[in-house]
Structure formats: structure tokens, C-alpha cells
Amino acid sequence: MRRKDAHSARTAWFVVTGLVAFMLVLAGCGSSGDSTGGGEELQKVGKGEGALNLISWAGYVEPEWTKPFEAKTGCAVSDKEAGTSDEMVELMKTGQYDGVSASGNATARLVAANLVDPVNVDLVPNYKTVFSDLKDQPYNTFDGVNYGVPHGRGANLLMWNSDDVKPAPDSWDIMFDPKIAAKYKGKISAYDESSYIADAALYLKFHQPDLGIESPYELNEEQFDAAIKLLEEQRANVGEYWSEAAKQISAFAGGDVTVGTTWQYQYFALKGEGVPVAASPASQGFLPKEGATGWSDTWMISSESKHPNCMYEWMNWIIEPKVNAEVAEYFGEAPAQELACEETANKNFCSEYHAENPAFWKRVYYWETPLADCGNGEEDCMDYNDWVKAWTAIKG
């Protein structure tokens, strides 16, 4: 009996030693496994490969415009919806997708990690008539090289249940001012991602000008701490943080929350369900008085794409005037394609969404990746990891 125990103990040690050796080998090999790829852009769009795997925001890839695309190009579209930019970056790392509708807080990371390739915009005929204030922007062009095709843009909305919230708010006070927000304690719905820190920073930019916040994505330690403090105070009043659109829709529909930050997608879905929700009206330009954070999305092509021709076809298709109009109206955002404004079902759509009004977009702060270097050469800004850590701490 004892002999047997001794024997099995020796076997156990043998297995453990083997595993440790295996780990050491792995660790040793590690340094050679850096990801490569990237750099080469396509020179000519050839015949489609028959399939296309996309990562998108909810409402960006819908049968209304993928069916005709499939009929025209023979590229069968399969789509994976992501709820946050982090999720998109993570999915892109798998290398199983051809393209992604990346917001500005993902693009820089995707490029830095060589997960996406430059885009030869000459191969995308519809690119010529994209709004010029969407071209060559810091979130889609790096070192003068284009990395994608603009999809559309919009502002994050302030939405409320008009039965419960009166009078209609015209400011983010209702979310952030402790006295006002306390009236809706437990009924506030906030976005669950570190980028939401920028919403607090934008509020402070307006209400505490002495902090000297320029861009809500470029915060030094003092400005950052002020935003964090505001969010910690807000937490007591938050009923629910959301990151899936479906979760927020069910919370508003079930009466669990009555006011929150949202996207057009949820707003229209709730309207469709007959829930009495309202958002900052067109007369206010959809924006509370402080302005808002928002997005300008870019279709990017994966550096490991197995269907690059289909992806180029898609990038051209999604900014085809008629399709881009359909996409923009479906989601509720401003189209990227100038000519789309003539194709919308609602003839006033482009003016309602300020698609052709560059001045309006100055008040919308597109999502960006926070970097330590925010232009003053001192590397004293809080970077993305700081944001993620702080966000974990806020939620507790």
C-alpha cells in the first residue's frame, strides 16, 4: 500500500515537472511570436471569394441591404454584432473576420496592433463623394495612410421616459448633477465601458471650465480624477449600466430605468414597442446644451482577411448613395455619403441629422482612444489602461 502511494506521488511529481518544463518552453518561444502582417494594401479588386465575415454595431448589417449585396457580388455575409469597442478589438484579434465597423476608440488600437490593413481608396469608387470632413481624420488616417471607409456618424443621445421625467431635460445635469440626478435615484441608465469617462469629462468641460479640459479624451491626472469623482457620485444614482442594446431596451420597457445615455438604435426600437421615450429633439440638434460624445465609424479591413475582394466590395457597397441612405435612416445617424442625402425616404433626413453641417459636428466629440501623449509632448495624460482600471474601480 505504502509502496503504491510512493509510486503515485512520484508520477505526480513527474507530471508537474513536465508541465513546468512545457511552460518554460512556451515562455521561451513567446518572444518570437509577435504578430506581423499589415502594411500591404490591395492593388486591384478581383472576383469575390464567396463569403464575408463582419463585426458590426447592432443595426449596421441588416438583411435589407445585405441581401441585394449578396445577390450582386455572390459574397455571403455573416455578421457578428459587438456591444463595445473593446469587444470589437478582441474579436478582431481572433483573425477570423474580414472587416469591422470600428469607432474612433478602436481604430488607433487596431492599427497599432497591426490587426487591420491600409485601404486603397482608389478601389472604392463611392469614396470620392464621402463628406470631406470625414476624410483623412485622425481616427481613420494614420501617418497619411487611409485605413478605412467612413460609414456614418452620430451623437450619443440623452433619452428619457416622458411619462416619468418632466419637464424635458435639456442638459446632462439629469445624469451628473448630484442634486438633480438624485431625483431619479436607481432609475438612471449609463453606458458600461471605460469610454463613458469621456461623458463625465465633457460635462466638466462645460460646467467647470477652470479644469481646462479641451478634449474629453485627453485628460491629465487632475482632470481625470475630477471626472472619476463625478462618476463615483453618479454610481449611487445609476439603476443599471448597459453594454448590450437589448439589455437597455428591456430596462426601459420594463420601467427599471427612466433616463439614460443611449444610441438611436435603442431609441427607435423602444418607440416601435410603444414605450413613451423621448430624446433631445431635432430643434436642439439632438444634443443637450453641453454637446455630446459620439462616434464616427470606419469600415476597416482585417490584415488576416481571407476574403479581401468581398471586403472591398462591401466597403464600396455600404457607401453606395442608396444603401448608405438606407443604413443611415435605419440606424438613425448621419450618412457618410454626400449623395445619400438625395436618396433618403425622409427628404429632410440629412438636415435633421445635420449631415451637411460641419459646424454641428464641432459639438460632437467622436470616441477616441485615450493616449498618454496628448499633443503637449509631455506624456502626462491618462492612457487607455488607466481608463479601464478606473472604470473597474468606479463600478466596484
Partner 1 sequence: MASEAVVERRSVGHRLADLFHGRPRLQVGGLLAGPVGWLVIGYLGSLALLLVAAFWSVDPLSGLTVKSFTLENFESLVNEPVYRSIVWRTIRTALLVTLTDAVIAFPIAFYMAKLASRRGKALLVIGILLPLWSSYLVKVYAWRTLLSANGAVHWALNPIGLDTPGYGTTAVWLVMSYLWLPYMILPIYAGLERIPDSLISASEDLGARPFTTFRRVILPLSFPAVVAGSIFTFSLTLGDYITPRLVSNDQFIGNVIFSNIANNQPFAAALALVPIVVMVAYLLVARKLGAFEHV
CA angle 106, 109, 110 (to 5 degrees): 80
Nearer residue to partner 1 within complex by CB, 301 or 340 = 301
**How far is Cα 37 from Cα 17, in angstroms, rounded to an integer?**
36
Q: How far is the CB of 388 from partner 1 (least distance, A)?
A: 6
Q: Look-up: residue for cell 483573425? A: 95
The Cα-based distances of 43 to 39, 46, 216, 309, 323 in angstroms read 12, 9, 38, 10, 25
Residue 254 engages partner 1 in binding (rule: CB under 8 A): yes
**How far is Cα 257 from Cα 178, in angstroms, rounded to an integer?**
17
Residue 371 engages partner 1 in binding (rule: CB under 8 A): yes
Q: Look-up: residue for cell 513527474? A: 14
> HSE (CB half, 13 Å, CA atoms) of 239?
22
* Strand 99-102 relative to strand 76-81, pairing: unpaired
Residue 117 engages partner 1 in binding (rule: CB under 8 A): no
Q: How far is the CB of 377 from partner 1 (least distance, A)?
A: 17
**How far is Cα 353 from Cα 285, in angstroms, rounded to an integer?**
7
Cell digits for 242? 448597459
**Which of 129, 239, 339, 363: binder of partner 1 (CB under 8 A)?**
239
**Which of 62, 87, 233, 356: binder of partner 1 (CB under 8 A)?**
87
Q: Please check whether residue 249 is in contact with residue 269, taking contact to mean a CB–CB distance below 8 angstroms.
A: yes
Q: How far is the CB of 233 from partner 1 (least distance, A)?
A: 15
Nearer residue to partner 1 within complex by CB, 240 or 343 = 240
Q: How far is the CB of 98 from partner 1 (least distance, A)?
A: 19
Residue 162 engages partner 1 in binding (rule: CB under 8 A): no
Q: How far is the CB of 386 from partner 1 (least distance, A)?
A: 8
**Which of 80, 135, 207, 247: binder of partner 1 (CB under 8 A)?**
247
Q: How far is the CB of 254 from partner 1 (least distance, A)?
A: 3
Residue 22 engages partner 1 in binding (rule: CB under 8 A): yes
Residue 86 engages partner 1 in binding (rule: CB under 8 A): yes
Residue 31 engages partner 1 in binding (rule: CB under 8 A): yes
Residue 233 engages partner 1 in binding (rule: CB under 8 A): no
Q: Which residues contact 165 (CB under 8 A, 6 or more apart)?
A: 174, 184, 258, 259
Nearer residue to partner 1 within complex by CB, 114 or 215 = 114
**How far is Cα 214 from Cα 209, in angstroms, rounded to an integer?**
9
Residue 40 engages partner 1 in binding (rule: CB under 8 A): no
The Cα-based distances of 318 to 50, 108, 132, 298 in angstroms read 17, 22, 17, 11
Residue 384 engages partner 1 in binding (rule: CB under 8 A): yes
Contacts to partner 1 by CB under 8 A? 18-19, 22-23, 26-27, 30-31, 33-35, 86-87, 89-90, 93, 108-109, 112-114, 186, 238-241, 243, 247, 250-251, 254-256, 369, 371-372, 383-385, 388-389, 391-393, 395-396
